[in-house]
């Protein structure tokens, strides 16, 4: 009966439309996460490879009001253990053992890009100040205010050899918008917790 | 350090049934319930029922359509006894729902709770009152125009489908275009040209639809009138 | 005085007339909306895809939330290094695709909006209310998620707070919805069962 055939055609057409609309939209946006789909990602809010040093920026130094503090020549990273601060200037950090790690910046907004970072292992810094590698830490940024100016980092990250105080990105010193002079970079963490413009690492456990 | 604490409202707001809007809604619900009861009692008169059913008989193929209930469905307590698994899931769902509502009521100040209610109602109004009717009318218009052009059903469905896909993608891309026009925080945010991207998407859809419709129509015509 | 055996005739009250007019209007709309697409089977097919997308969003969303606001006892994996990249990528892609799936699901069940009478009992009121909550919160949730990827916040409330709260509201009302509809879902889960039933006649499930 043509009624049956027409009904089946309508149903198939509907489901095909839904499939094309859904999968098509996925293809048009997923390229900001999956590199292979990047050329298709016409609707993606971020472009792979856009930005200084090939990495998109979320919060600029200007927006975070840290320009002067970050560019100050007397900047030093403060590592505090049992109330005792130890200061490491940029040259001090460079003199330590630097390792390379390939880690992504993955934003809560869904985009992500991998990059090559170079810096000091957090667990090495902790060892230098006499703290155990598996220590929970409080991380503070030079940012004066903002929801992520001060964050917590679990002990499992501090102990991981991939967690770095990074001072170089892609072979060059960090761009100001990427956290110059030093930023925290850890595996499997959201971008907002990869603290830029580091000020203090305080051992809390 | 959670941002939640800073949004704690000044008033120990419970909102909901305390407010005049809540009382009004409850009254409306009671009125509707009474109306419904009244209709059913009136329907007991067989003459009236026959007249009413002739007037408002649902169309043939609508398995989804709710009918005026002649059958008493099992009440919730009977359901809970007969299907404890389902009842447990409903209870868990209600708990999750309640948790979400509690989060809203405790983390937002009273004026923002009201705004959230407005936005939630707006979501329903925008879809049920705007998007769905427009889509429905567009579908009817395409069907009529297609019939006028002697397009086969498959071609009419293809055009409607193409328009639906284009419409959905436009709904997603339009706010992106607006957000970009408002100005992004830095050049890597909203880096692409989304107006152009949307235009290209529509062009691709239009090409696929036109080619497909032409093929389907000519095939249907040749099938209908095969001349050697 | 003889006792009247028939009900005394009265002019139909204004409420009755309005109610009857609304009933006819609603029935007319349902007739106009009638389509071979708008069946329970289609609702199940689209609904289960939408449910899957929402499940992915809920799980990955909770992971993202607790990474940022962990409960004191929580520990997180540091391996693989790309873990958050995939979970959050999945969250946003699934959420974006669910916009289309949600639109398709609502299209399929749209005639139910015009059911008459709108409410017949406390249970039916609760069910319709829970569906109303589901539609409103799911619609707003995916819209807010989308606009967050554009860094556009036209609403006055905090994104993270509301997005987290609505996630629970959507999850809860969705669980209620599936549990209430479970018999119908089961009946139409497999194509073979559904085809048998469509031949059985139009009056099959009047359950709303």
Interface size, chain A vs chain C, as Cβ–Cβ contacts under 8 Å: 119
B143 in contact with A at a CB cutoff of 8 Å? no
Domain ranges of chain B: 1-54+85-108, 110-228
C68 in contact with A at a CB cutoff of 8 Å? yes
Q: Where in chain A is the domain with CATH 3.90.420.10?
A: 52-203
User: Is 90 exceeded by the pLDDT of residue B223?
Assistant: no
Q: Tens digit of pLDDT for each residue in B192-207?
A: 899 999 999 999 999 9
| Residue B77: both structure tokens together | 């307590």
C149 in contact with A at a CB cutoff of 8 Å? yes
Mean pLDDT over residues A171-188, rounded? 95
Strand A198-203 to A76-81 pairing:
parallel
Phi, psi dihedral angles at C105 (to 5 degrees): -65, -45
> C152 and B182: CB-CB below 8 Å?
yes
**Whole-complex ipTM:** 0.94
B10/B4 Cα distance (integer angstroms): 14
pTM, two decimals, is 0.85
**What are chain B's partners, defined as 3 or more CB pairs within 8 angstroms?**
A, C
List the domain range (segments joined by +) for residue C60: 31-113+120-191
Give first-to-last CA distance, chain B, whole Å.
Answer: 82
* CA neighbor of C143 nearest in space, from B177, A22, B96, B120: B120
| Residue B147: both structure tokens together | 């019939």
Annotate B183-205 with b (16+ C-beta within 10 A) or e (fewer): ebebebbbbbebeebbeebbeeb
Q: pLDDT category, C11, cuts 50, 70, 90?
A: low
pLDDT value, residue B1: 41
Instruction: Provide, as residue numbers in chain B, all residues whose Cβ is less than 8 Å from the Cβ of A63.
Output: 185-186
CB contact at 8 A, A188 and C86: no
User: Is 80 exceeded by the pLDDT of residue C62?
Assistant: yes
Q: Tens digit of pLDDT for each residue in C134-161?
A: 999 999 999 999 999 999 999 999 999 9
Q: Which residue has the higher pLDDT, A144 or C172?
A: C172
A168/A141 Cα distance (integer angstroms): 17
| Closest residue to B1, CB basis, from A6, A14, A150 | A150
A111/C89 Cα distance (integer angstroms): 7
Q: pLDDT category, B168, cuts 50, 70, 90?
A: very high
| Closest residue to C84, CB basis, from A11, A156, A189 | A189
Q: What residues have CB less than 8 Å from B33, skipping those under 6 apart?
A: C119, C125
Q: pLDDT category, A159, cuts 50, 70, 90?
A: very high
Question: What's the structural domain count of chain C?
Answer: 1
Mean pLDDT over residues B121-138, rounded? 97
pLDDT value, residue A145: 87
Q: In whole numbers, what is the pLDDT of chain B averaged over residues? A: 79
- DSSP string over chain A: -HHHHHHHHHHHHHHHHHHHHHHHHHHHHGGGT-GGGGGG-TT-SS-TT-SGGG---SS-HHHHT-HHHHH-TT-EEEEEETTEEEEEEHHHHHHS--EEEEEEEE-TTS-EEEEEEEEEEHHHHHHHTT--SS--EEEEES-SSSTTSEEEE-HHHHHSTT-EEEEEETTEEPPGGGTTT-EEE-TT-BGGGS-SSEEEEEE--
Instruction: Provide, as residue numbers in chain A, all residues whose Cβ is less than 8 Å from the Cβ of C35.
Output: 10
> B153 and A43: CB-CB below 8 Å?
no
Question: What CATH number was assigned to the domain covering residues A52-203?
Answer: 3.90.420.10
CA angle B168, B156, A16 (to 5 degrees): 50
Counts of helices then strands in chain C (DSSP H, E): 6, 0
pLDDT value, residue A49: 80
CA distances from A58 to A61, A170, A186, B188, B221 (A): 10, 18, 17, 8, 57
pLDDT value, residue B34: 60
Q: List the CATH number of the domain containing C156.
A: 1.20.950.20
Percent of chain A with pLDDT over 70: 100
Q: Which of residues 150-189 of A touch C (CB under 8 A)?
A: 152, 154, 156-157, 160, 162-163, 186-189
pLDDT value, residue C195: 63
């Amino acid at each position: 009966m043509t009624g049956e055939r027409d009904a089946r055609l309508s149903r198939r057409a509907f489901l095909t439309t839904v499939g094309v609309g859904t999968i098509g939209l996925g293809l048009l946006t997923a390229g900001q996460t999956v590199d292979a789909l990047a050329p298709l990602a016409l609707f993606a809010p971020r472009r792979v490879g856009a930005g200084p040093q090939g990495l998109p920026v979320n919060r600029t130094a200007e927006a975070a009001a840290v320009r002067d503090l970050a560019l100050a020549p007397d900047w030093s990273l403060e590592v505090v253990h049992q109330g005792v601060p130890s200061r490491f200037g940029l040259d001090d950090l460079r003199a330590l053992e630097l390792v390379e790690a390939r880690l992504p910046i993955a934003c809560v907004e869904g985009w992500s890009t991998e990059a090559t970072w170079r810096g000091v292992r957090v667990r090495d810094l902790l060892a230098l100040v006499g703290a155990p590698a598996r220590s929970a830490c409080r991380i503070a940024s030079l940012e004066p205010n903002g929801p992520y100016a001060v964050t917590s980092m679990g002990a499992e990250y501090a102990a991981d050899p991939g967690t770095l105080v990074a001072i170089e990105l892609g072979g060059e010193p960090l761009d100001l918008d990427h956290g110059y002079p030093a930023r925290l970079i850890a595996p499997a963490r959201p971008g907002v917790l990869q603290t830029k413009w580091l000020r203090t690492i305080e051992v809390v456990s | 350090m959670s941002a939640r604490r800073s949004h704690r409202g000044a008033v120990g707001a419970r909102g909901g049934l305390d407010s005049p809007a809540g009382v009004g809604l409850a009254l409306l619900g009671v009125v509707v319930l009474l109306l419904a009861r009244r209709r059913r009692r009136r329907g007991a008169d067989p003459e009236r029922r026959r007249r009413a059913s002739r007037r408002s008989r649902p169309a043939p193929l609508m398995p989804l359509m709710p009918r005026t209930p002649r059958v008493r469905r099992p009440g919730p307590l009977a359901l809970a006894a007969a299907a404890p698994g389902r009842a447990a899931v409903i209870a868990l769902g209600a708990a999750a729902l309640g948790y979400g509502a509690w989060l809203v009521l405790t983390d937002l100040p009273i004026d923002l709770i009201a705004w959230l209610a407005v936005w939630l109602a707006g979501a329903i109004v925008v879809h049920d009152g705007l998007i769905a009717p427009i889509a429905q009318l567009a579908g009817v218009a395409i069907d009529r125009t297609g019939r006028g052009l002697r397009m086969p059903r498959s071609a009419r469905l293809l055009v409607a489908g193409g328009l639906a896909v284009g419409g959905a993608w436009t709904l997603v891309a339009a706010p992106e275009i607006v957000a970009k026009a408002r100005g992004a925080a830095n050049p890597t945010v909203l880096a692409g040209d989304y107006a152009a991207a949307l235009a290209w998407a529509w062009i691709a859809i239009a090409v696929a639809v036109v080619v497909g419709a032409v093929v389907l129509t000519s095939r249907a015509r040749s099938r209908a009138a095969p001349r050697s | 005085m003889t006792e009247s055996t028939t009900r005394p005739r009265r002019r139909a009250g204004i409420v009755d007339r309005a109610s009857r007019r609304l009933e006819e209007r609603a029935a007319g709309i349902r007739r106009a909306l009638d389509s071979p697409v708008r069946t329970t089977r289609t609702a199940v097919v689209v609904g289960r895809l939408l449910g899957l997308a929402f499940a992915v969003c809920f799980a990955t969303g909770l992971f993202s939330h607790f990474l940022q606001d962990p409960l004191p006892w929580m520990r997180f994996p540091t391996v693989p290094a790309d873990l958050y990249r995939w979970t959050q990528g999945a969250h946003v892609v699934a959420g974006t695709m669910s916009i289309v799936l949600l639109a398709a699901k609502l299209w399929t069940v749209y005639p139910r909006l015009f059911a008459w009478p709108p409410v017949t009992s406390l249970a039916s009121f609760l069910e319709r209310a829970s569906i109303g909550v589901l539609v409103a919160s799911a619609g707003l949730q995916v819209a807010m998620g989308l606009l967050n990827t554009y860094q556009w916040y036209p609403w006055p409330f905090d994104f993270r707070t509301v997005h987290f709260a609505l996630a629970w509201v959507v999850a809860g009302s969705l669980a209620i919805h599936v549990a209430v509809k479970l018999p119908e879902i089961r009946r139409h889960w497999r194509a073979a069962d559904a085809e048998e039933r469509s031949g059985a006649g139009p009056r099959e499930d009047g359950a709303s």
